[in-house]
A and B are shown apart, each in its own frame.
Chain A
Amino acid sequence: MGKQIIFLFALLGLLSPLSSLAQQSRVEVNAKADTDKIRIGEQVKLRLSATVEQPAGLTVVFPQVPDSLSHWEVVTRSKIDTAGDNNKKIFSQTLTITSFDSGHWDIPSFRFDVVQNAGGATDSAFTSPLGIDVGTITVDTTKAFKPIKAVRTVGWNFWDYWLYFAIGISGILIGIGLIVYFRSRPKKEVVKPVVPLIAPYDAALQQLQQLRGEKIWQQGDVKQYYTRLTDILRAYFEQQFNIPALEQTSEELLQHIKPVTILNQQRDKLRSLLTVADLAKFAKLHPSPDEHEAAIQQAIEIVEWTKPAVAKAPETVKEEIKQP
């Protein structure tokens, strides 16, 4: 028994410096609500504070408040704020709490831990519990139930629709801008078909006569003579009958004149002319002088033969114009 009493005193001796830490350093903790009476669901601002006299050499650890206390819900927590001067420091945190149960409910006391910086000795300080009345709405049960109110129309407000107005106006402005741009931009020059100053028929005949007059084959340049001769004919077919004759071989040309009846009637003559011309151009054939003369004569005959078709064209146009 004696030994137990000695151990108890020894333990008290050890704990006594710790328990008095808060008192020695004059640490004061406090919990204060902004009201002691609320209606159900209303919020209470609860301020937790710790005042420490300086110089303290202490660290105050604020309580970790859970989301729910008995009958109370914590809505928000502020950060710990520090204020004070050289003599004392005040640490505070504001909690917003609410209750959804009616009655008189206590906010429990909160524990602050006080830790001595030198040595690490720890002590605790507690706030006093607070009692708050949570009232409910009084219902007059003597009166009859009232119907639920109908949905009310909110009045028209420009600012509810300003974005739509802005988009609409922007669209209209862009549209107007595009119309103005497309109307005012420089128009592409319409490429007018080049109307030859001289009719293809006349030009071909003129060039053939000129070729004859130049006496090219007489000077020995047979290849050049036949090249010029076929070029004149091909250009004539291209302009007069819209056959891409300059880009076609002799065989292709003979195939493509088939639909042009008047030209097709001269097919054999044209074939013979093109064959001799190809031989002269690509195989260094030297036809006889008679053949040279016959070639140009054939070319003139082909052009002359197609004259009726050339003359017919303007009449057709006139008739078409007369028709309403």
Chain B
Amino acid sequence: MENTSTDIRQLNEKIHQASAFVDLLNLELSKVIVGQRYMVDRLLIGLLAQGHVLLEGVPGLAKTLSIKSLSSAINAKFSRIQFTPDLLPADVVGTMIYNQQKNEFIVRRGPIFANFILADEINRAPAKVQSALLEAMQERQITIGDTTFKLDDPFLVLATQNPIEQEGTYTLPEAQVDRFMLKVVIGYPTKEEELHIIRQNLNPQNTAKINPVIQPADILEARKLVREVYMDEKIERYILDIVFATRNPEDYKLQKLKPLISYGGSPRASINLALAAKAYAFMKRRGYVIPEDVRSICFDVMRHRVGLTYEAEAENVTSENILSEILNAVEVP
């Protein structure tokens, strides 16, 4: 059914009201998290668009604190899994153990049975464990023995990768990385923010605690509204142009990028870019998507979906450089 002008106006008003909790959440989170607004925004996008987030950043940038606080603010269950080389799939998803008294096997659920999962240093565990987690992320259900368990909803996985230590790690294969809606690269806080962090941490009177401001059910409702956000055909075509430019740069007068790209974005990239743009528009309290929304989340959605050639790596060209070139070449509607 095609949206009419009146529908969109009503939708806009509806979303304007429904998205008010975003400000509430941000306000609550700012009690304990100083700065890192970019990361928090991306976590919310993941949450609203039903996508998982891969975070890349050095240790100590409040990754755990952010997701833990978000979980508390939504009154959701949080679980943290530290990935290590000796971790087994059963340590993540759970296993069946024998009960001697009852003389039967009972299911012991793993830490994945929570709303928010922090998979810390996901690249430290071998492929079979990564695969078990990523499969659960995709299917949103777990099978232990003969029984299939549906995972809690909302279900958001935030996986972290440390960019500075690559020794003894198991790099996530391209197909697995593609399952993350966003790959967010986080940086250090500013000087002022860090000063605030020091003061906040050293202040003995600081007893800031996150209180639940919304319920998981509200998130599920918001997700439905996110899907309803109006996206004009012009925006859809703009998304396609960006994704196709990563595959066939020569069609967009970007011949120089051709030898630098080994593979471009998949159809999943287009879907996720559209979904994330809708979630971003929702967070901006709009009922329709504008090109700014697409551009704002484009790097986070696309950076792990553009494969680089050896030539690009030799010339220190990053996927961000390529995406910048593409965004500067593709005409905005």
Would B327 and A247 count as touching, CB distance under 8 A?
yes
Interface size grouping (class) on chain A: 10 to 19
Q: Mark B241-263, 1 if CB is under 8 A from A, else 0.
A: 00000000000000000000000
Of B1-9, B102-110, B160-168, the stretch lying at the interface with chain A is B1-9
Q: At the interface, is chain A mostly helix, strand, loop or mixed?
A: helix
Tally of B interface residues using CB under 8 Å: 25
B12 x A283 contact (CB < 8 A) = yes
CB-CB under 8 A from A248, the residues of chain B are 332
* Contact A281 B232, CB 8 Å, known A249-B290, A250-B292, A251-B292: yes
| CB pair A246 B331 closer than 8 Å | yes
> Is B145 among interface residues, defined by CB-CB distance under 8 A?
no
A285 CA / B230 CA spacing, docked (Å): 12
B39 proximal to A (CB < 8 A) = no
Q: Is B209 an interface residue (CB 8 A)?
A: no
Give chain B interface residues in 253-284, CB to chain A under 8 Å. none
A136 located at the interface, meaning its Cβ lies under 8 Å from any Cβ of chain B in the complex: no
- Residue in contact with A282 in the complex, picked from B232, B295, B328, B329, CB distance below 8 Å: B232
Residue of B286, B288, B290, B330 near A247 (CB, 8 A) is B330
Contact call A284/B332, Cβ cutoff below 8 A:
no
Q: Is B173 an interface residue (CB 8 A)?
A: no
With both beta carbons as reference points, the residue of chain A lying nearest to B3 in the complex is identified as A284
Given contacts A281-B333, A282-B235, contact A249 B295 (CB under 8 A): yes
Bound Cα distance from A287 to B327, whole angstroms: 30
Cβ–Cβ < 8 Å partners of A283 in chain B: 8, 12, 230, 232, 286-288
Q: Is B291 part of the binding interface, using a Cβ–Cβ cutoff of 8 Å?
A: yes
| Known A-B contacts A283-B8, A283-B12, A286-B5; A246 and B290 likewise in contact (beta carbons under 8 Å) | no
A244 at the interface (CB under 8 A from B): yes
- Give CA–CA (A136, B301) in the complex, Å: 99
B257 CB to closest chain A CB, in angstroms?
15
B234 within 8 A of A: yes
Per the bound structure, the CA–CA distance linking A244 and B332 in Å amounts to 11
Asked whether, in the complex, the Cβ of B332 is within 8 Å of the Cβ of A282, the reply is: no
CB of A53 within 8 Å of the partner chain? no
Neighbouring A residues of B70 by C-beta, 8 Å: none
A248-300 interface (Cβ within 8 A of B)? 248-252, 278, 281-286
Interface membership of B133, Cβ < 8 A: no
Interface centre among A247, A284, A286 (most CB of B within 10 A): A284
Residues of B within 8 Å of A227, CB to CB, are 234, 333
Q: Is B289 an interface residue (CB 8 A)?
A: yes
Query: Could you say which residues of chain B place their CB within 8 Å of the CB of A244?
Result: 328
- Cβ-defined contact, A249 with B292, below 8 A: yes
* B133, chain A: closest CB distance, angstroms: 36
Contact yes or no, B5 A284, CB < 8 A: yes
User: What's the Cα separation between A227 and B233 when bound, in Å?
Assistant: 13
Tell me, rounded to whole Å, the shortest Cβ–Cβ distance linking A159 to chain B.
Answer: 49
Chain B residues, CB < 8 A from A249: 290-292, 295, 332
Query: Which A residue sits closest to B4, measured CB to CB?
Result: A284
Q: How far is the CA of A246 from the CA of B12 in the complex (A)?
A: 27
Interface centre among A244, A247, A249, A283 (most CB of B within 10 A): A283
On chain B, the residues within 8 Å of A284 by CB distance are 3-5, 8, 230, 232, 288
Docked CA distance A281–B232 (Å): 8
Q: Please measure, in the bound complex, the distance between the C-alpha atom of A227 and the C-alpha atom of B332, giving whole angstroms.
A: 11
**How far is B332's CA from A246's CA once the two chains are assembled, in angstroms?**
6
If A249-B290, A249-B291 touch, does A282 touch B330 (CB 8 Å cutoff)?
no
What are the residues of chain A within 8 A of B330 when measuring CB–CB? 247
Interface string of B59-75 (1 = CB under 8 A from A): 00000000000000000
Cα–Cα distance between A247 and B4 once the two chains are bound (Å): 28
Residues of A within 8 A of B (CB): 227, 244, 246-252, 278, 281-286
- Besides A250-B291, A283-B232, 19 new A-B residue pairs in contact (Cβ under 8 A), listed by A number: A246-B332, A247-B327, A247-B328, A248-B332, A249-B292, A249-B332, A252-B295, A281-B232, A281-B234, A282-B230, A282-B232, A282-B290, A282-B291, A283-B12, A283-B288, A284-B4, A284-B8, A284-B232, A285-B5
What are the 6 A-B residue pairs with the smallest beta carbon separation, nearest first? A283-B288, A284-B5, A249-B291, A282-B232, A249-B292, A286-B5
List 19 A-B residue pairs with CB atoms under 8 Å apart, sorted by A's residue number: A227-B234, A246-B332, A247-B330, A247-B332, A249-B290, A249-B292, A249-B295, A249-B332, A250-B291, A250-B292, A251-B292, A281-B333, A282-B232, A283-B8, A283-B12, A283-B288, A284-B4, A284-B232, A285-B9
